[in-house]
Chain A
Amino acid sequence: QQQVKQSPQSLIVQKGGIPIINCAYENTAFDYFPWYQQFPGKGPALLIAIRPDVSEKKEGRFTISFNKSAKQFSLHIMDSQPGDSATYFCAASENGNKLVFGAGTILRVKS
């Protein structure tokens, strides 16, 4: 069973648009929710992470929104650029150990 469900599978936006990727989880013991960005031929790289004591976190053009009661969190990319085209993974864990990943979203930003 997939503990973290991610949607959509793929997403195409125009340059400057705001792609939104959503994730839902089941395990209420999860207390760490990172997002990873992966380019072809590379390993995933940490983009931004949030803990359930806050509802939003921003780092540059990337924002995580977190809804603890709904057990959902999402990634927003402001002013998206062609260089943001990549695969994005949400993940969750207890105490940062044994991360469980979503299935991934392939994002393409058209110039």
Chain B
Amino acid sequence: DAGITQSPRHKVTETGTPVTLRCHQTENHRYMYWYRQDPGHGLRLIHYSYGVKDTDKGEVSDGYSVSRSKTEDFLLTLESATSSQTSVYFCAIRGQGNSPLHFGNGTRLTVT
């Protein structure tokens, strides 16, 4: 799994509560990404990072924020979870140049 650990693997939370998902990598890769996977939509990019403290928005960033204070950790925060954010969230990493994207095993989040 390319040295990527996502935590937690499963989480159930209530509407309106804050939630933070963690991605930890041991590959020392520069680029890190958060995607969400939903039936009929494939994987959609939420936010990505190209270095410590350097982040940018993806296609579906509304309602999400990220932080990267260390090379190995990339956090995704839902400030106030909504039912539309029920999804499977994948972290991915990529090295320099034309390196391919490698994914973690995902976090299944249910917002009730």
Report which A residues bind B (CB closer than 8 A).
4, 6, 9, 32, 34, 36, 41-46, 49, 89, 95-104
Top 5 A-B pairs, shortest CB-CB distance: A43-B103, A101-B42, A101-B43, A103-B42, A46-B100
For the complex, give the distance between the alpha carbons of A18 and B41 in Å.
25
B7 to chain A, nearest CB (A): 14
| B105-A43 in contact (CB<8A) | yes
A-side binding surface: helix, strand, loop or mixed? strand
Size class of B's contact patch?
Answer: 20 to 34
| A89-B98 in contact (CB<8A) | no
| A45-B103 in contact (CB<8A) | yes
Residues in chain A near residue B101, CB distance under 8 A: 34, 46, 96, 99
Residues in chain A near residue B4, CB distance under 8 A: 43
Q: Which single member of B1, B41, B45, B99 contacts A99 (CB below 8 Å)?
A: B45
A96 touching B103 in the complex, CB below 8 Å, given contacts A6-B42, A43-B90: no
B68 to chain A, nearest CB (A): 16
B51 to chain A, nearest CB (A): 13
Q: Which of A4, A9, A101 has the most CB of B within 10 A?
A: A101
